[in-house]
Amino acid sequence: MRSAVYNLPIPKMMNPAARAAHGLNRVLPILIFSAGLSGQALDWSKAEQQFAKQIAAVTGPGAVAVRQENRSSLSKKDADAANSRLQADLEALGVRAVPPEQAAATVAVSLSENPTSYVWVAEIHLGAAESSVVMVSFLRAGGSAFSHESFPITLRKIPLWSQEDRILDVAVLEEDPPPNPAPKHIAVLDAEKVSVYRLQGGKWQREQALNISSAGPWPRDLRGRLIAGKDHLFDVYLPGVLCHTSAALPLTLSCRQSDDPWPLVGRPVDPEAGTSTDSSFLGISKGTLSVGSPVNAFFASTRNFFTGALSPGIGKFTTIPKFYSAAFLPRNKYMLGVFAAVDGQIHLVDGVTDQAASLGWGSDVASVRTTCGIGWQVLATSSGNNPGDSVRAYELADRDPVPVSLAADFAGEITALWTEIKGDTAVAVARNQRTGDYEAFRLAATCNQ
């Protein structure tokens, strides 16, 4: 999780209670009561009361039309009983059920579930205002014991590189063929250089070290990216600096001052042609790239975040709030952008709406394409002040995030999380609290079915 540093123009991240209260004033707040994740099973009455309070906090007292739907495995009898109790809790808070034509607000309530918990979601419409969503999740009976098998996905941490200097990014240049695509040629980016290593005899051997030239000092919380080049090996993006490698060996690195936008998703590689292309967004299947286009964003050269200006935009949005990181989820007719904003909110941008949500995530997100579930998942860091960070996979089938993996734990703070070029894995960098070294891992998702 990215912590506040001296060059941030914002206060430190709010605690969960303050974040929830703040979220009610946003365009689309999603308030999550994560009782299920604490390992303490709740009875229905406590969950219903919490859910009713969240709904009433948005609608206020008055006439409201409520529509209910059961998408879970509960019987109709049990679901109806739970909804009746919820209705009673709402009435006790001054929320009075009326027909739609008499209502000042409408609430669509749905009860669904994931492998371990029930998830209650309410979509609230107040006149012509944007929708709001509130959510409560709680464990099923006997569902408090988490295991890899209880989730559809397992996240695997594959070590890539470790060093004393801060690692900004790692690019896998070559790997063994499936089913065990182990990296055997990598590039490691830090503040001073790009080092290229090849695995020989079970040990990494450095082939080259390409020095980076900069006209001024770097920001304190430095960030950077390695992106595959069109007609050369890779480009290096740093705050206010852009570098290109040569096309021929031995490699050279040419750097210049630049305010060019950074590619957020890289340039995917056609697995049949073996070359990179920027003709489409991530997502590769038998040489065919999925629908969508690369999204670029301008990085604040003296800070540690993106300014919010996009090139090209997502639908009608060419500007969004400042953000640390982004993930992209292709849909049938559009692309959903997931942005971790500097104010602690997660913005879901689909080209038509920008919906802000308080999800309790950290400041680093990435997307991965898998053969599990709906095919695309978001990897999100944890939020809080725990000794070590973690990364968990989520699915957003209906904009409501559902955890689909156990958390992958790290020995310290995560300082970078980037989707890899092919889109099916991500690179995470964390600083080991015990050794002080920076450690880079590849995160790969395995389906448990």
pLDDT per residue as tens digits for the range 55-69: 998 888 999 988 888
pLDDT per residue as tens digits for the range 32-55: 333 333 333 345 777 788 888 989
Separation of alpha carbons 345 and 341, rounded Å: 5
188 and 324 in a single domain? The answer is: yes
pLDDT per residue as tens digits for the range 222-236: 999 999 888 889 999
375 belongs to a structural domain: yes
216 and 325 in a single domain? The answer is: yes
215 belongs to a structural domain: yes
315 and 367 in a single domain? The answer is: yes
Separation of alpha carbons 109 and 130, rounded Å: 17
22 belongs to a structural domain: no
What is 108-158 written as a DSSP string?
A: EEEEEE-SSEEEEEEEEEETTSPPEEEEEEEEPTT-----GGGSSEEEEEE
pTM (two decimals): 0.68
Give the DSSP letter of residue 250: S
7 belongs to a structural domain: no
18 belongs to a structural domain: no
293 and 431 in a single domain? The answer is: yes
- How buried is residue 207: exposed, middle or buried, by Cβ count under 10 Å (0-12/13-18/19+)? middle
Domain finish residue from 145, 173, 208: 145
338 and 426 in a single domain? The answer is: yes
280 and 325 in a single domain? The answer is: yes
205 and 232 in a single domain? The answer is: yes
Which token pair is 272? Answer: 């049949």
pLDDT per residue as tens digits for the range 242-287: 999 998 889 999 999 999 999 987 544 343 333 333 333 333 232 2
How would you classify the pairing of strands 203-211 and 225-228?
unpaired
Kindly report the CATH number assigned to the domain that includes residue 51.
Answer: 3.40.50.10610
302 and 353 in a single domain? The answer is: yes
pLDDT per residue as tens digits for the range 321-351: 999 999 999 888 888 999 999 999 999 999 9
250 and 378 in a single domain? The answer is: yes
* Residue range of the domain that includes 439: 153-447
Provide the residue type at 143 as one letter. Answer: G
81 and 223 in a single domain? The answer is: no
279 and 365 in a single domain? The answer is: yes
Domain finish residue from 103, 121, 145: 145
Kindly report the CATH number assigned to the domain that includes residue 341.
Answer: 2.130.10
9 belongs to a structural domain: no
Domain finish residue from 86, 116, 145: 145
15 belongs to a structural domain: no
> pLDDT averaged over the chain?
80
- The tally of domains found in the chain comes to 2
33 belongs to a structural domain: no
315 and 370 in a single domain? The answer is: yes
